[in-house]
Amino acid sequence: LLAVGPGIPKGVRFHYPATQVDLAPTFLGLAGIKKPWYMDGKSLVPLLLRKTAHDYHSVSVWTRRHLETLPSAEEYASRWRKAVFFEYYYNDPNVKCVDACIKPRQVYPNADTACGILASEPQDCWGGCVNECYPTENVNNNFIAIRHVHSISPFSDTLYAVFQTGNQRSENINFDNVDFVEYYETEFDPWMLVNKRNSLPDSVKRLLDIKLRMWFKCRGNFCP
């Protein structure tokens, strides 16, 4: 994420884990609009501005009002989540083909385009192939996972994930019948090639699973 705007110091960085769910609360905060309690994510505004509302006369009155409803920047950062949760579901084989291709017709701006240049004539387009086809997804690829960041997490730099076979299109997948587990020490295995689940102590696995389920079932302001 790159951000430029009033009150944002030049070259400022933060190492707190954030995801796309934090963008909507951030935009609402900048506009001074209160986030609905049921909306996931948290405002990044205090992490971007780094100071209190009274220290920033260059930001809008609406942004200052948003900051006034929050703790100090230091306290806000100390309460920030130490991990991120993500989930993925299978609902279609998403078949791709790579042979006997016909360049697709340019349909922009009337529909989504498969062309890299938005010109009237098709250029740098992909798709339209009918041979040498293969699925890119399968029913095993449903998972919920939690990723901890080394510098601020007691679980160090790790990823813990559980998988359940199924098709979300036909049946809700709730991960009550887990088929397999993955655990990676990403500090030493950044490509996540060595599954360390068998060497994971039972006590740590229980803690990770409790935390993962908490993330999976939470909503809005009740999420970390």
Q: Distance between CA 109 and CA 101 in Å, rounded?
A: 23
| pLDDT digit string, tens, across residues 94-126 | 888 888 877 777 777 787 777 777 766 656 777
pLDDT at residue 217 is higher than 80: yes
pLDDT, average across residues 143-171 = 91
- pTM, two decimals, is 0.82
pLDDT of residue 91: 95
Token pair for 184 = 């990676």
pLDDT, average across residues 1-25 = 84
Residue-averaged pLDDT of the chain = 88
pLDDT at residue 128 is higher than 90: no
pLDDT, average across residues 54-63 = 76
Token pair for 101 = 């291709």
pLDDT at residue 5 is higher than 90: no
pLDDT at residue 144 is higher than 90: yes
Q: Distance between CA 8 and CA 3 in Å, rounded?
A: 8
| pLDDT digit string, tens, across residues 164-208 | 999 999 999 999 999 999 999 998 999 999 999 999 999 999 999
> Side chain identity at 151, as an amino acid letter?
S
Q: Distance between CA 80 and CA 26 in Å, rounded?
A: 14
SS3 180: strand
pLDDT of residue 121: 62
Q: Which residues of 30-64 are buried (b: 16+ CB within 10 A; e: fewer)?
A: bebeebeeeebbbbbbbbbbbebbeebeebeeebb
SS3 150: coil
